[in-house]
Amino acid sequence: MIEKGRISAMQAAILLYPTIMATAVLLVPSITGKIARQDMWLSPIWGSVFGIIAVILAAKLNNRFPKQTIIQYSSELVGKVTGKLIGFLYLFFLIHSLGIILREYGEFIKGFFLLQTPIAVIIGSMVLVSALAVRGGIEVMARSAQVFVPIVFVLFILIVILLMPEMDPGNLFPILENGPMRSLEGAIVPASWFQQFFLLSFMLPFMNDREKGAKWGMVSVIAVMFTLVISNLVAMFLFGNITSHFTYPVMEAARYISLAEFIQHMESVVMAIWVGGTFVKISVFYYVFVISLSHWLHLSDYRPTVLPSGVILTVLGIWVVDNLPHLNEFLSTVYPFYGTLFYGIIPVILLVVAMMRRS
């Protein structure tokens, strides 16, 4: 097999948590707030349904093809030529998604902390660190996540606790003033993040306890949902209906923290959450891409593709969009449908074909 490493279902869940949460926790509150307003805290709950569906799809397909990824079994289901085309489309989607994620990371770090540093250096350094983790294999990535994720979670809870004196729960009312439609419309963007749980399908072939994959996938979905609900509530309690005016509401919230003039300027904690979580997210997408590329090319080892792919990713991260407003517009309007095609529609079609062939 192209990857000899093995992980547990729990480690996969830990890997998936920052893969979805890392970028969502800073970007989603602003995007959701524009539509759902004071009901924005409900949107991640509705959106999590798509995460549950993605986990079920990944598990169902893996039950039929336990040692293969979608790049491999698509050729068996729809023929070699069509399967190769589907594989190529997934490769394009994965590398494009990586470019978007890298640009999100670069824009945040450059915009708030490293103002004079070229974005190419910021993106390139993250790609290099992620490449080292990817070359180490899925076990190395899982162990890295086991170190980072608890720290990131504790820092997030710390920020929430320190912000409590500044919160005004009255900003939440009236709840469902115009019915549930606003919160449902606001769920479209969070749903596109939750659909990324389909990446579980690329981890299931490398699990020791594959039968527990779906259960731990659901646990990760619920954990991400609660994190996003809490972050949306914090933003709403602090800023009310002007939440959508901020690009990164959680970062702006951290600036409110002041405890006896001793604990202040907690932006560095938000940066730690962002960098630690984004490192895991980029590593997971990077790993899925090089594994998929190696399967598509029928290589015996994925490691020779890691560094060349990293060069392309660095360039793509710089060129993928012109600026931050264009990036937010893409994530708000195009990505929900773009992601649904690859995380939802194509897997459903393949599952239906598999069921028809086995019936």
- Pair of tokens at residue 225: 């949902």
The pLDDT tens digits for 264-279 are 566 677 777 778 888 8
Percentage of the chain with pLDDT > 70? 95
Is residue 288 in some structural domain? yes
Is residue 70 in some structural domain? yes
Is residue 3 in some structural domain? no
Range of the domain at 310: 9-358
The pLDDT tens digits for 145-179 are 888 888 888 878 888 887 787 778 887 777 777 77
| Residue that wins the pLDDT comparison between 235 and 274 | 235
* Residue 261 pLDDT: 58
Cβ atoms of 213 and 299 within 8 Å: the answer is no
The pLDDT tens digits for 246-270 are 777 777 777 666 655 555 566 677 7
The pLDDT tens digits for 78-97 are 888 999 999 999 999 999 99
| Domain count across the chain | 1
* Contacts by residues 66-71 (CB-CB < 8 Å, ≥ 24 positions apart): 66/204, 66/205, 66/210, 67/1, 67/205, 68/205, 69/201, 69/202, 69/205, 69/291, 69/292, 69/295, 70/201, 70/202, 70/346, 70/347, 70/350, 71/292, 71/295, 71/296
Could you tell me the CA-to-CA distances from 169 to 43, 231, 233, 235 in Å, in that order?
18, 14, 9, 11
* Residue 54 pLDDT: 94
CA 296, 301, 307 angle in degrees (round to 5)?
90
CATH number of the domain within which 23 lies: 1.20.1740.10
Residue 217 confidence class, pLDDT cut points 50, 70, 90: very high
* Residue 264 pLDDT: 59
Whether 355 shows a pLDDT value over 80: the answer reads yes
- Mean pLDDT check: name the lowest of 157-171, 189-203, 221-235, 276-290: 157-171
pTM: predicted TM-score of the whole model, two decimal places:
0.91
Closest by Cα among 147, 143, 138 to 306: 138
Is residue 2 in some structural domain? no
